[in-house]
Structure 1
Amino acid sequence: MTSPFDFDRELAELGAAHLLRRRRQVAPLVPPMDLQPDQEHLRGTTYLIDGQERLSFGSNDYLGLSQHPAVIAAAQQAAARYGVGATASPLVCGHSPAHESLEHELAALVGLPRALYFYAGYAANVGIVPALVGKGDAIFSDALNHACLIDGARLSRADIYVLPHRDLAALEAQLQASEAPRKLVITDAVFSMDGTVADVPALLALCERHDAWLLIDDAHGFGVLGAQGEGTLAHFGIVGQGGVAPEWQGRLGRLVYMATLGKAAGVSGAFVAGEPAVIEWIMQKARTYMFATGAPPMVAEALRAAVQLILAEPWRRQHLQALQRQLREGLQAAGVPWDLWPSDTAIQPLVIGRNESALKVMAALDRQGVWVPAIRPPTVPKGSARLRISLSAAHTGEHVARLVEALRQAA
């Protein structure tokens, strides 16, 4: 009799479907604090991957801050001041002056009244959603939402309605039909595997019209979109340097904004922002906040340094946009046979189709010293395996030209 715990068989089935993942050991080619002036092009771009030098287009370090000397120095100084651990939940004794200052600075950056810092983005959404809705309530979720939103919805025990990607008409029909006491729309702001952007103003208008709330996950927009890196809300003119735009004054009470800090900010963690009472409620009710040890204060201080760089160095976003144009124009000129989906973000999806084919293209690039990960189901829908090209402000035009040539040769 076959055991229901026959994981050897199930692993073999994953392998046959080209769906097995494996970890790789990744480290900077040169330690960041040891880089010489003529090696700056290596910072945040060139790694040892399983011991082999590779130019990477695989990370979410969109602004190139993860190896910035000021961010590293802030962490080092905070470790000397606070030690290396928070030692307890933030609601016990794991909330330091560094965490408090970070929360105020994040709220000011995104133009919302209050923010709450979580130790991880996944943990944030898994805690936030069940804090907002529960059994008998209704959640309306985009079909391409990140797993943390999906899992948070499942844990809430609310009724879940999965809607076609960015289909506002389908969403409105479901909202109109719902008789749930609490209705929550959840969506990625920038979708992590294809770079599309949710129509946040239209979603807010629908929520106003149908007495629903909106939770957006701006993991891939924060730091990248907006004149000062404020994120997707600023991208649409909902907030800006002066706070909430006049036409949106008094209309954001039903908005819950979440963003992660391990991508454009280059460090770790996440935060949720919104009206003070809403954030206080999440702090009191989110189990992933209440029952987990907080992030070390050294991480909070590193993030404070990163936030200052996001504000002070708009050239990083401008350079990133130039690289996006260079990549798209270069691939079009090279005539590669795969489908580069439209994206105005750092995420550039090159859709291959079959799992095996995507892995073969990834391997061909790897042989040329270029690292671009192949993304397969269940991360993306079946039949849409792709190379997820992640651009960073740390990349140079020469790096992008090398990637385009490597893809041309792999075709």
Structure 2
Amino acid sequence: MSELLNQRLRHQLAALRDEGLARELPRIGRRDGVRYELDGKWVTGFCSNDYLGFANHPHLRPTAISARDHAPDAAGATASRLVAGDLPAHRAAERALAALVGSDDAVLFPSGFQLNLGVLPALIEPGDAVFSDALNHASLIDGLRLARSRPTILPHRSAPTGDAGPTWWVTESIFSMDGDAADPDLLRQFTARGGMLYLDEAHSLGLFPGGAGFARAHGITPSLLMGGLGKSFGLAGAFAAGSREVCTWIRTRARSFVFSTGNAPMLAEQARLAAELLAGRDGDERRARMWSNARLLAAELERPPPVSPIFPILVGANQLAVAVSRALLDRGWHVQAIRPPTVPAGSARLRVTVTSDHDETQIHGLVADLRQLLRQFDLELRDTAPTSSSR
């Protein structure tokens, strides 16, 4: 039977290769900020989500934390938080994260995907009306499926209409593949009339003054805020933030929390420290550099002032996106080709991201080579304008 499975998968993998949808892990070696070895060759990366360079922050390295007083003294939590895994590091991190986003409480999760898969089914009830943005992340889509809801799919960046009965609006704040943002006025209007807003801030948390996310920066109070730790925090994991009642219910009923071992204590301590750093002078300086770099890249790409550090370059065909990505890599630039099902069919793209660690020379160099290659492949320097997701 195992050979039958292998034959089936060989056939399916060959079909993916023919469609330009094969996937390979980029083998990263030594790393020095945005410079790193990829398959033995030093390149400059323009595709990570480490927007503020915290992945290499000296104060967040395990060796630095281990040298501090009150450092975590265990490698693992040993069990679910509800059994024997609720440790001081978890509780301290949750207090710091709640303070950062201005909520009453917060709940740590091992990943944002795991959070959305557990929290959405825990909060949404059968009689609730649910609206979901057409370009929402796969984890939100799958979480809504597990909630057994039948969401109304909203045109991208539009809002629910009507206010009869309990109504959820599930959306990202900054959209991970397009780099655009939800309309803050529409979000405020929805919550003002009693709507329940589920806001995924994976790509926006930490980018605004004081380390805040999109919601706090725009005076929006979601019913549930999902904060990612794998982007501006430079770590891994996520947290749900909201009222004490919401967070108590999540700890009680979100299956991906109840039935999972607690986060590693070291990671929880790193999250606490990162929250403090994001809110302080270091975070302010890194944000200023990141936004300066984002404005420079936007100008070089002949685009309006940016709302995020994410710049999609629409290519269209899967194989063509891969070819341009490989040509950039040959010139020393690592920019991944993003293809379905991550983005809608026919909208394969290069997803360029800029961080606080890039310098002007690197930005100018990338754009110069990108322009030349796009001309070579008979492509234009286009932004994306998709209308729906295929995820």
Do the two structures share a fold, i.e. TM-score over 0.5?
yes
Secondary structure of the 1:141 match is strand
State how far apart, in whole Å, the 2-side matches of 1:219 and 1:341 are.
23
Q: Does 1:129 align with 2:111?
A: no
Give 2:55's aligned amino acid: S
Q: Deviations over 1:11-39 (max 9, x none)?
A: 2221111011111211334xxxxxxxxxx
Report the number of matched residues. 366
Distance 1:77 1:270, change over 3 A: farther
Q: Does 1:320 align with 2:280?
A: no
In the TM superposition, residue 74 of structure 1 has moved relative to its aligned partner by: 4.5
Aligned partner of 1:111 in structure 2 is 102
State how far apart, in whole Å, the 2-side matches of 1:295 and 1:126 are.
17
CA contact (8 A) 2:177 2:343 kept: yes
In the TM superposition, residue 294 of structure 1 has moved relative to its aligned partner by: 1.2
CA contact (8 A) 1:135 1:159 kept: no
In the TM superposition, residue 108 of structure 1 has moved relative to its aligned partner by: 0.9
Distance 1:289 1:77, change over 3 A: farther
State how far apart, in whole Å, the 2-side matches of 1:341 and 1:288 are.
40
Aligned partner of 2:215 in structure 1 is 233
Secondary structure of the 1:159 match is coil
CA contact (8 A) 1:188 1:198 kept: yes
State how far apart, in whole Å, the 2-side matches of 1:77 and 1:289 are.
30
CA contact (8 A) 2:118 2:256 kept: yes
Give the fraction of aligned pairs with identical amino acids, expressed as a percent.
40
Give 2:366's aligned amino acid: L
Aligned partner of 2:29 in structure 1 is 27
State how far apart, in whole Å, the 1-side matches of 2:122 and 2:312 are.
34
State how far apart, in whole Å, the 2-side matches of 1:299 and 1:397 are.
33
Aligned partner of 2:34 in structure 1 is 45
In the TM superposition, residue 341 of structure 1 has moved relative to its aligned partner by: 8.4
Aligned partner of 2:384 in structure 1 is none
Secondary structure of the 2:82 match is coil
Question: Residue 55 of structure 1: which of 44, 48, 52 is its match?
Answer: 44
Question: Residue 301 of structure 1: which of 266, 269, 292 is its match?
Answer: 269
Q: Deviations over 1:261-319 (max 9, x none)?
A: 01100111111111111111111110010101111100011122212221122011111
In the TM superposition, residue 322 of structure 1 has moved relative to its aligned partner by: 0.9
Q: Does 1:264 align with 2:253?
A: no
Question: Residue 406 of structure 1: which of 362, 366, 369 is its match?
Answer: 369
Aligned partner of 1:163 in structure 2 is 154
CA contact (8 A) 2:224 2:241 kept: yes
Correspondence list, 1:365-380, <5 A: 365-380=328-343
Q: Does 1:221 align with 2:189?
A: no
Correspondence list, 1:1-16, <5 A: 6-16=8-18
Secondary structure of the 1:91 match is helix
User: Which stretch has the larger CA shift, 200-209 or 281-290?
Assistant: 200-209
Aligned partner of 1:154 in structure 2 is 145
Distance 1:77 1:84, change over 3 A: farther
State how far apart, in whole Å, the 2-side matches of 1:80 and 1:110 are.
25
In the TM superposition, residue 202 of structure 1 has moved relative to its aligned partner by: 1.6
Give 2:104's aligned amino acid: P
In the TM superposition, residue 208 of structure 1 has moved relative to its aligned partner by: 4.1
Aligned partner of 2:386 in structure 1 is none
The gaps in structure 2 that reach 5 residues or longer are: 375-391
CA contact (8 A) 1:375 1:386 kept: yes
Give 2:35's aligned amino acid: T
Distance 1:201 1:107, change over 3 A: farther
Q: Could you tell me the TM-score, scaled by structure 1's length?
A: 0.84
Aligned partner of 2:382 in structure 1 is none
Q: Does 1:331 align with 2:301?
A: yes
CA contact (8 A) 2:36 2:42 kept: yes
Aligned partner of 1:190 in structure 2 is 174
Q: Could you tell me the TM-score, scaled by structure 2's length?
A: 0.88
CA contact (8 A) 1:75 1:299 kept: no
In the TM superposition, residue 89 of structure 1 has moved relative to its aligned partner by: 0.8
Distance 1:80 1:307, change over 3 A: closer
Secondary structure of the 2:84 match is coil
Distance 1:162 1:347, change over 3 A: same
Aligned partner of 1:291 in structure 2 is 259
CA contact (8 A) 1:317 1:393 kept: yes
Secondary structure of the 1:258 match is strand
Question: Residue 142 of structure 1: which of 133, 138, 141 is its match?
Answer: 133
Aligned partner of 2:20 in structure 1 is 18
State how far apart, in whole Å, the 2-side matches of 1:342 and 1:322 are.
10
Question: Residue 93 of structure 1: which of 84, 90, 102 is its match?
Answer: 84
Give 2:8's aligned amino acid: D
State how far apart, in whole Å, the 2-side matches of 1:77 and 1:294 are.
23
Give 2:229's aligned amino acid: L
Aligned partner of 1:348 in structure 2 is 311
Aligned partner of 2:385 in structure 1 is none
In the TM superposition, residue 203 of structure 1 has moved relative to its aligned partner by: 2.4
User: Which stretch has the larger CA shift, 11-20 or 62-71?
Assistant: 11-20
State how far apart, in whole Å, the 1-side matches of 2:26 and 2:304 are.
27
In the TM superposition, residue 136 of structure 1 has moved relative to its aligned partner by: 4.0
In the TM superposition, residue 255 of structure 1 has moved relative to its aligned partner by: 1.6
List structure 1 segments (4+ residues) > 4 angstroms apart after TM superposition.
Answer: 77-80
State how far apart, in whole Å, the 2-side matches of 1:135 and 1:74 are.
48
